[in-house]
Structure 1
Amino acid sequence: MELKKELHEILEKPNTHKYGMFVQVIIYINIFVSILVLFLETEESLQPYKNMFDMINMISIIIFTVEYISRLYSINYLNNRKRLRYMFTPFMIIDLLVLLPFYLSFLNIDLAFLRTLRILRIFKLFRLAKFIEFDNILAQIVTEKKEEFIFILIASVIILFTIAPLVFYFEHDVQPMVFKSMLDSLWWSIVTFTTVGYGDMYPITGMGRILATFLGVFGIAFYAIPGSILTSAFLDKMNHKKHDRQEKNSREKNSDEE
């Protein structure tokens, strides 16, 4: 039980344990090193160092594995939280995906998509306390403003599915190899609405260009609206948090004086 307590505090509440931050620094250095090696080992001029890279990857995986097992072992220290349920939390799924490519290689499974999963190690940085706090605030904002976001999403879909067939009808006869179907037109509408505009497809008729102009303007507007809602709500949350912190410090100061 004492070991569970120590591991739980080190991994879940590092600020409360004397070795917590030290272990966290090791974990984050390991993440950065493993990501760096992931890029370096693809460089042809560095192939003579392949054995060294393999050794670093092995050490990295050992650290990740010890961390993963330790989290599973210690999670029910304070309560009866089920380990199986904990395994399916977002962070633990990421941790598992980080480990899978290595252990599946022992089964002669070495598919390219498994190797690319190694890049998911970077997402482990979201375990930082500040990121977790930000995620909580973001989740609260999305919950509180869900009606606004849903309205914007529905309006965007309506605009896309209205303009796409119109552009198809105006452009298909003129550019039959470009706007071959409404699905192609929908793809063009999406990249135009999102202001990506690859340039591989574009209307050449007068009405097509007018619709493209409207779609581009709508796209900019519909990006700005949710952005302003999110920013405003986030600043409001941060101000409330700052105000609550000041009140707490003030109460603690008054309590000490008494």
Structure 2
Amino acid sequence: MSARPFSKISAPFNGLLAAIGLVAVAVLTTPDITGRARLGLQLLLVAIWGIYLLQLVETLVLRRAKGPQDSTPAVAIDFLAVLVPLAGFLFASTRDQELFCAIWLLKPLRNSAFFRLIGRVISSEARNLIGVTSVFGLVLFAAALAGYLIERDVQPDKFGSIPQAMWWAVVTLSTTGYGDEIPQSFAGRVLAGLVMMCGIGIFALWAGLLATGFYAEIRRQDFVRNWQLVAAVPLFENLGSSALVEIVRALRPRLVPAGAVICRKGEAGDQMYFIVEGRVCVATPNPIELGPGSFFGEMALISGEPRSATVSAATEVSLLSLHAEDFQMLSISNPDIADIIRRTALERRGATPKA
């Protein structure tokens, strides 16, 4: 078996190496660690750094041979993982050299789709986020200014200037409430209450914008994936864009592992299935296999009869399911497809029974 290239180290292994290195960094900050244990941990950090160096070198070689292929963030993280600890070893004091290895926190993120998703959400909601952040800054300065004016004579040591009062404004606006700076006057406490309520509203706006952005981005990804699945079904390949949009909204993707039962004979059925990838086995007296582009379970939608056969996944199979209520809507908007499904169901009913 060939060795796995360093440039293709999996995300879990990158995470494991980073976790081991960060635990070693944390242990090295304890004052009572012995000299031998300290040396062992430092050698462990050097070994991890060496693995990351090899990963960087091989990634650069492959990048030069095959082109960038949108790997810039991964290469940047690989560079930081190697160069920052090296800079710490060369220029930092002996006591702080290991702390530069904390940059390895970024290593598990080099191939993370989740953080790319965050980037797209922030990019799409950038204008609104900047607007809310501007409001936060205005409220923060206004709260610090008001706190300074109200409390500067009562607590000159804590509210003696606007920069000093700004710490209180940050703590209050975020509703953290450390209690190290508390208004003493009645007007100051009224101000604190108002600032807290403003903070709740601003953070709710931030959370709402991000939640909306995540929802829209995930829906977009799901729509694109479902579109690709639907377009792969021969029954739908000649449809126009508007018809495909309606079908994409009606069909729901499902992945079934090999050997799993999809539907059982005699049970009530409320959905039919289209096969995108893989094969299914229909348990009739003469078992039948259906492959990509086929569909089954349509009798349950058309006649309401119980399942007439058990269908299981012969291989891992990617399906699109159509529920009864969605089938009725599809029959109205796309009668041609509904007629094909009904005609196929009647042909199967007159021949070999199926689910």
Q: Same fold (TM over 0.5)?
A: yes
Which of residues 18, 22, 30 in structure 1 aligns to 2:17? 30
> Structure 2: how far apart are the matches of 1:149 and 1:101?
31
In the alignment, is residue 171 of structure 1 matched against residue 151 of structure 2? yes
User: How far apart are residue 120 of structure 1 and its match?
Assistant: 1.5
1:118 alignment partner in structure 2: 101
1:17 alignment partner in structure 2: none
- Calculate the TM-score normalised by the size of structure 2: 0.58
Q: How big is each residue's C-alpha offset from its partner over 1:187-219, in whole Å with a ceiling of 9 and x where there is no partner? A: 211221122222111111111111111111100
User: How far apart are residue 123 of structure 1 and its match?
Assistant: 1.3
> Structure 1: how far apart are the matches of 2:212 and 2:96?
39
> Structure 2: how far apart are the matches of 1:158 and 1:106?
43
In the alignment, is residue 134 of structure 1 matched against residue 117 of structure 2? no
Mapped contact 1:101–1:118 kept (Cα < 8 A) = yes
Identity across the alignment (%):
19
In the alignment, is residue 187 of structure 1 matched against residue 175 of structure 2? no
Runs of 4+ in structure 1 over 6 Å off: none
> Structure 2: how far apart are the matches of 1:212 and 1:25?
46
Which of residues 27, 35, 40 in structure 1 aligns to 2:27? 40
User: How far apart are residue 162 of structure 1 and its match?
Assistant: 1.7
User: How far apart are residue 111 of structure 1 and its match?
Assistant: 5.9
User: How far apart are residue 25 of structure 1 and its match?
Assistant: 4.7
1:231 alignment partner in structure 2: 211
User: How far apart are residue 161 of structure 1 and its match?
Assistant: 1.8
1:70 alignment partner in structure 2: 58
RCO comparison, higher one (Cα < 8 Å, 6+): 1
The aligned amino acid for 2:24 is: V
User: How far apart are residue 224 of structure 1 and its match?
Assistant: 0.7
Name the CA shift for 1:28/1:142 in 2 (closer, same or farther; >3 Å). Answer: closer
The aligned amino acid for 2:107 is: K
Name the CA shift for 1:148/1:98 in 2 (closer, same or farther; >3 Å). Answer: same
The aligned amino acid for 1:121 is: W
User: How far apart are residue 93 of structure 1 and its match?
Assistant: 4.2
2:182 alignment partner in structure 1: 202
Name the CA shift for 1:115/1:241 in 2 (closer, same or farther; >3 Å). Answer: same
The count of aligned residue pairs is 233
> Structure 2: how far apart are the matches of 1:110 and 1:93?
26
> Structure 2: how far apart are the matches of 1:144 and 1:106?
40
Mapped contact 1:98–1:117 kept (Cα < 8 A) = no
In the alignment, is residue 248 of structure 1 matched against residue 284 of structure 2? no
> Structure 1: how far apart are the matches of 2:211 and 2:94?
41
